[in-house]
Amino acid sequence: MVRALLFGLAAAVVLLVSQAGGVSYNGLAITPQMGWDNWNAFGCDVSEDLLLGTAQKIVDYGLRDLGYYYVVLDDCWSTGRSSNGTLMVNMTKFPNGMGHVADQIHNMDLGFGMYSSAGTYTCGQYAGSLGHEAQDAETFASWGVDYLKYDNCYNEGQSGTPLITYNRYKNMSDALNATGRPILYSMCNWGEDYPWKWAQTMANSWRMSGDIYDSFDRPDERCPCSGDEGYNCALPGFHCSVMNILNKMAAIQSKSQPGAWNDMDMLEVGNGGMTDDEYKLHFSMWAMMKSPLIMGTDVRSMDAQTLSIYSNPAVIAISQEPAGSAGIRSWRYYVNATDEYGQGEISLWTSNLANGDYV
């Protein structure tokens, strides 16, 4: 049985406006960022053709006009560092260079995002940016990057307390700001050391959980925390289901604010592991919780059902409304009728909107 989440859409469409200025540390992400990232659907199988073909489809399908702005290249794009320490692009995957990719994406009135890690290596074991923050930030800016996803792999043990992790991520925040180019800073430290307590003054979003996978509620030992621990999850893990991540948000939803968002990870809608109703709930709750809405499927070949979910204007309006107030879990109880994984619960989530309506 699919666990039910009872929520009502009181307003069909909310005016999409942004508060001028807000409290964003760099003036960006006044509403949760929207876009696409290749990782969920493609992993390391990245190329210039993939990015530019996806960007064109985002335009053709009208998704850009709905707010999907950033086209984000995830891991596995480099071949290491040159003799002077500069990051080098894999010219087989990106034969015209990264500046060309950025220019083509900008010509479509979209933003270009890239990936690195606050470690010696990225999660795919390519060159990371730990100790190279200023040099790499200048490189990203020179290529025309508008968004940086900054991961947490191979961090040389520089974690374990909020201050240690804050300082490690603050180094890149300062380096990005020093370039003079507006670059949205998306921290991906999986909720380690409680980023919702301290990241608002140096990042636009922070991952609050281990990595998502394409399942609605299937438990997985690789994602050992269930959400019942509150916010105190010692090992974020990965292969976390939609419901696992959603229930972890209950304790920390108040920490999101305009310019600084709890990131529940990229969307799995369209990747085939859930039913249509489960994907609708996944998308709707990410919007209600004011998580970034980053598509994670192959946009070039998605079917009509997937496109209809990603392009639902009422749900997008809830995500982008100016109050930026994430949903509250009003109540939750378990039920005897469970699904094939032994899961069964009903919960009520509500949120106030800027115009006085609520969902």
Would you please indicate which residues are annotated as catalytic (active-site) residues? Answer: 151, 211
Q: Residue 130: CB partners within 8 Å, gap ≥ 6?
A: 117, 118, 119, 120, 154, 155, 156, 158, 168
| Cβ atoms within 10 Å, residue 109 | 11
| The dihedral formed by the CA atoms of 349, 355, 357 and 359, expressed in degrees to the nearest 10 | -30
Three-state SS letters, 156-223: CCCCCCHHHHHHHHHHHHHHHHHCCCCCEEEECCCCCCCHHHCHHHCCCEEECCCCECCCCCCCCCCC
DSSP label of 299? G
The b/e string for 178-195 (b: 16+ C-beta within 10 A; e otherwise) is ebeeebbbbbbbbbbbbb
Contact predicate 130/119, CB 8 Å = yes
Taken in order 327, 329, 330, 336, the sign of the CA dihedral is positive
The helices-and-strands tally (H runs, E runs) of the chain is 9, 13
Contact predicate 58/71, CB 8 Å = yes
Q: Which helix (H) or strand (E) holds 96?
A: none
